[in-house]
Each structure stands twice: as structure tokens, then as C-alpha cells.
Amino acid sequence: MKITDVRVTQPLPAGMPTGWRGSMGQIVVAVDTDAGLTGYGIGGGGAAATHVIQRELRPLLLGADPGPIEQLWEQQYRATLAYGRKGLVIMALSGVDLALWDLRGKTAGVPVAQLLASTPAADVVAYATVGMAGDDPGVGIDRALGEGYRVIKLALGSFALPGDAEQVVRAVRDVRGRVGADVTLMADAAMAWTDGPAVLKLAQGLVEYDLGWLEEPLPADDLDGYAWLTERSPIPIAGGEHEFTARGFADLLARGCHHIYQPDICWCGGLTQMRQIYTLAQTHQVRVVPHRGSEVFGLHAILSLEAGVPLAESGRPWMEWVGGRELAGGRARLAAAGNGFGVDLSACFNAG
């Protein structure tokens, strides 16, 4: 089997957010073969990633055997080394890699999850993310509880530190009082804070409210700050959704930057890198909770690679069109069995 074409497009679904999540948003990659099979994957990076695939990665792949995915990944990585390594190029490569894994599953006649484990889990606990900005965050909390979620993450990025520290503590205290002790809570600062000692003081003030983790409390590239904070924080520190490749995660792990690592399969380099990241994490005895894990590509990985207590983020509402999974009662599972990732994204190339 040989690759006959590599196509890419950027869908603009209803509800796509403004800012970088829209303009630099998700791309769909299709890898066609002379066997009549097409693999589909999703990456990130918008128009810039589209250019990288069309001008740089496609010529490398045309005529190649799609089977040795890991070898193809390294070839693409090395070909883009001068201007890649992280960021947009790896987001583009992620989409290609996932399309190749989709092809591998279709060729073998099994779901990707069964390529990774003989008996993948049937489903996984999912968590909802609730924004804490606005007049009444309790509405979002009650909605999540009503939908069956027993694990909820609080988005705290709208607060500033150190000035809003007391307000953050009050907000988390109020949520804990609202949901009771049986609901697991986490918090996400979305890289909004820069003062490590202020974050540590806040974490100390939040201990009594039993948070499962504090996510991205510092900028992604403040590795020294993260190592310092993780060593001292009474609340586990999570991060990594904006890190790229197993090489990048190896550096974070060596420095002890986080207690919990959150690679995004559509950004970090695809499934080829996600597998390696899981292996690294197991060696370092730390937990992996992939970013957007209940979306179909990440869900295949979680159901098959997680050896501990799996947990899947509920995903983004503007990505519901991808399909391939069911989310109900606070749990995520794959939709009706299908080979590969079980999604048909051909309509993305027929629009217009």
C-alpha cells in the first residue's frame, strides 16, 4: 500500500471561539492510499499548519508505505527540525500522525484502541470544566451535576494574583459547600499567573477544600518556576497541554515540573508521541490525564494506555461535529464500533 495524497482543510463549525482557538484552530488531515483506504486525523495550527502540511510534509509522504508510522514521524520531525520542534509544526504533524494511525486500524480491521491493548477499557470517568467568571458560577456547577458529572474542574484564569487571592479562596470554598465532599474538584488557571510564591500561598489557602490538582498556574515555559512550585505545593500541580513531543515531556519529567501531565494528542505529536509520553510517565511514576481526553482521538489512547485511574476531560463544545464517542452520565465511551478511530471526516472536504 502506498500513499497517493495528503489533504488538509480547516473546518469552521458553528460556535468556534474567537481568538487563537479559532484562527489557529483545528485542521482535518486526510491520507489517501492506492488501496482505496483513507485515514483521518485532526491537528491544530490553522492556516499556518495547513501550509506546513501542503508544502513540507505532503511531498515527504507521497509514494511512501503508510505502515511504519513511527519511522514516518521521525522523518517528518527531522525534515522540519530547523523551524519546528514545538508549536505549529508539531500540531500539523499531529494531524498527519493520527491519520496514519486511523489507516493502521482500518487496514487491520480493528479500532485503534485495540491496536494499543488487547482489552481496552469500555468507558472512563469524565470531568466537566466550569467557568468561575460572571455573576453566578453556580449555574454551571448545577448544570454539570445535573448531567451526571461527579468530577468538576473550576476555571480560575479570570482571577489575578496576588490581588484576587482571597476572592479565589472564597469562590472555591463556596463551590465545595455547594457540591459537598463526594464530588471531586480541580482548578485551572490557564497560565494566567506568573508569581510562583503567590501561587504557593494560594495553594496553601486552598488545601482544606481538597482539590485534586491546580492546573497551569504558571506560563508553560517557566520550567524552573514549575519545578520550584511542584516541590512545595500541598496541591498536585498539573500541566503540559502546551508542551510538544516526548522529547519535550522528557525534559519536564526530568525537572519534576508537574505531578500530573496533560498532553493533547492533537497537538503534542499525535498518538506516536502520546504512547511514548505514557511510557515516560510510568517510568517516573506520575499520572497522565490528556487534555480534551474525551474527544475521540484522545479517548482511544486513554482507554488502552492508562494503567492507573483513567480520567477524561469533557472536550470542547465546538468540536462535537467530530463524533466517534458518547458522553453521558459523567462517563465517556467510544460510539458504535468502527475500524480506526471510527470517524468519517470526508464531509469536511466536500463543504463549499
Catalytic residue numbers?
Answer: 291
- The C-alpha atoms of residue 153 and residue 131 are separated, in whole angstroms, by 9
**Would you call 38 helix, strand, or coil by DSSP?**
strand
- The C-alpha atoms of residue 99 and residue 93 are separated, in whole angstroms, by 10
- The C-alpha atoms of residue 302 and residue 125 are separated, in whole angstroms, by 11
- The C-alpha atoms of residue 214 and residue 157 are separated, in whole angstroms, by 11
Partners of 313 in the β-ladder? 127
Query: In the chain, where does DSSP find H-type helix?
Result: 20-23, 46-52, 58-61, 69-79, 88-108, 112-116, 138-146, 165-179, 196-206, 223-232, 245-255, 271-284, 296-305
User: What Rg, from alpha-carbon coordinates, does the chain have?
Assistant: 20
What 8-state DSSP symbol labels residue 12?
-
Residues 6+ apart with CB under 8 A from 330: 125, 126, 127, 128, 147, 148, 149, 150, 151
- The C-alpha atoms of residue 203 and residue 205 are separated, in whole angstroms, by 5
Query: In 80-195, where does DSSP find H-type helix?
Result: 88-108, 112-116, 138-146, 165-179
CB 130 within 8 A of CB 155: yes
- The C-alpha atoms of residue 279 and residue 321 are separated, in whole angstroms, by 31
Residue with cell 463544545: 317
The 10 Å Cβ neighbour count of residue 269 is 32
